[in-house]
Structure 1
């Protein structure tokens, strides 16, 4: 997919901040979740670092929704194994930008001290991705703790927390969110209804894909059983 509204070198964190609907819709087909996440980034952020960050984070969110544990998600082996399963496309697509690969390899794990160890919640997408994963890694499996850690890094506080919340929410579930926070969410009923619609449409899409693929495979199987002369007649 070509860049539509951006240029090479544009690598802000906005592409990650808005990502969640993509893996929420496509998570049943992880390769589609990863591919569409990269495309969604390119609409406004033309740099490979932006598309790779979104592809990787989409895989993590999809993995959480598919039942992978937090330890599995944060292990660099997760990326290696998912590449083998085709989540990240062909051999060229699997080569991530070096800065994103460094995060995949666990750069945030070596910075337990957070801000004092160099974690920054800035507008640069690489910094934002590392900060969100640091907050997730060291949140003691508590959504409240993770959000506060992300916000207390300073700089682009709301975006860092929003990026953290997408993965943490997928991993921990809605019951892990502090009730007093939920009570103050503006248009909460609308957001919950929209989320339910997104989940429903994603399931319907996946069902149609499976049906269409099944019909296509059945058609190919029927062709393969024909003799060469019959194939020519068809």
Structure 2
């Protein structure tokens, strides 16, 4: 395991400070781990390692668009609260800044919206809305850990939930898309605050409007009960991406008397992300989503050090830089 690795001094393992860092570093670790297996279905005999490669030729440990866009949100949060016009404009500007870096991987819906170079959040949301009422890919869900980090010290989730929906609307459309971002942001925010994985059914009850809860509870139940992650659509769809991430976490969850130990946390991060990657298809994104929640629950110190030593990506950060960015965004 790795701990006390940043330029800002010692961090107690398991502390809320460590868990803030863990949310972003877990996202990056899952993202970079899954990048080498994207659009494949690795069987149980295939070791899941941070090997890089994949269809876009990432270097070992290099994160993809998932973490890059999350880093953009975190950078915006160092300037303004994300539940303000200024904060949303800053997020939009960061997305465009990333797009100008000529990333090797970008989702189709995100590319469609960002190519219009909308100068404000309101204009970007209008561009996204014009693409259709239900462009419900996983592109806005993959970056939600940064929103939970930005509001980590809020006593209630109200402002965070509003920001999660508004940031989702910058690129994607559809009621359930925005609800997925709110559900997962709340789950990560809760894990940062409590040091434990949430009851996702309880999260749904707390977040989702009454009229939509039945289908949401059905989706969570499917993720918790299926032996194989075969959902309504492949996990490029936002709901199946959320289900795949929760399936990987839930099926590998250690026993209660083992989960709170360092070895139990390390094992769950390894096993949960490996299971998520083995589910196949959009492996970098589903593992990034799962990694954000696992890192928020167990902290940065629980993320395997052989992974964190390798992490790097836009905007020119490594593990130390991404951890420091999490600190600044949370402040």
Return the TM-score normalized by structure 1.
Answer: 0.71
| Residues 132-211 of structure 1 aligned to structure 2 (within 5 Å) | 132-141=245-254, 142-186=268-312, 190-203=318-331
Q: Give the match for residue 215 of structure 1.
A: none
Check the 8 A contact 1:108/1:131 in 2, yes or no.
yes
* Match in the other structure for 1:5: 127
The alignment of Structure 1 onto Structure 2 pairs a total of residues equal to: 189
* Distance (whole Å) between structure 1 residues aligned to residue 209 and residue 126 of structure 2: 19
Which residue is 1:25 aligned to? 150
What's the CA shift string for 1:119-148, capped at 9, x where partnerless? 876200010000101111122341011111
Correspondence for 2:61: none
How far has the Cα of 1:96 moved from its partner?
3.7
Change (3 A) 1:79 1:124: closer
> What residue ranges of structure 2 are gaps of 5+ in the alignment?
1-120, 255-267
Extract unaligned runs of 5+ from structure 1: 204-234
Q: Are the equivalent residues in 1 in contact too, given 2:164–2:178 (CA < 8 A)?
A: yes
Partner of 1:217: none
Alignment partners' CA distance in 2, 1:195 and 1:95? 39
Once residues 61 and 100 of structure 1 are traced to their aligned partners in structure 2, the CA distance between those partners, rounded to angstroms, is 18
2:174 to 47, 69, 75: 47
Partner of 1:69: 196
Secondary structure in 2 matching 1:43: coil
Q: What does the per-residue CA deviation read over 1:147-204, in whole Å, with 9 as the maximum and x for residues that have no partner?
A: 111111111111111111011110111122111111221259645334424433433x
The verdict on how the C-alpha distance between 1:15 and 1:94 changes in structure 2, with shifts beyond 3 A counting, is: farther
* More helix as a share of residues: 1
TM-score with structure 2 setting the length: 0.51
Q: Is the 8 A contact 1:9 1:46 kept in 2?
A: yes
Larger radius of gyration: 1
- Structure 1 residue aligned with 2:225: 110
**1:60 aligned to which of 174, 182, 187:** 187
Residue among 235, 238, 241 paired with 1:125: 238
Instruction: State the 1:23 CA deviation.
Output: 0.8
Give deviations 1:17-43, integer Å, cap 9, x for gaps.
111111101132211111111111111
Q: Which moved more, 1:148-157 or 1:25-34?
A: 25-34
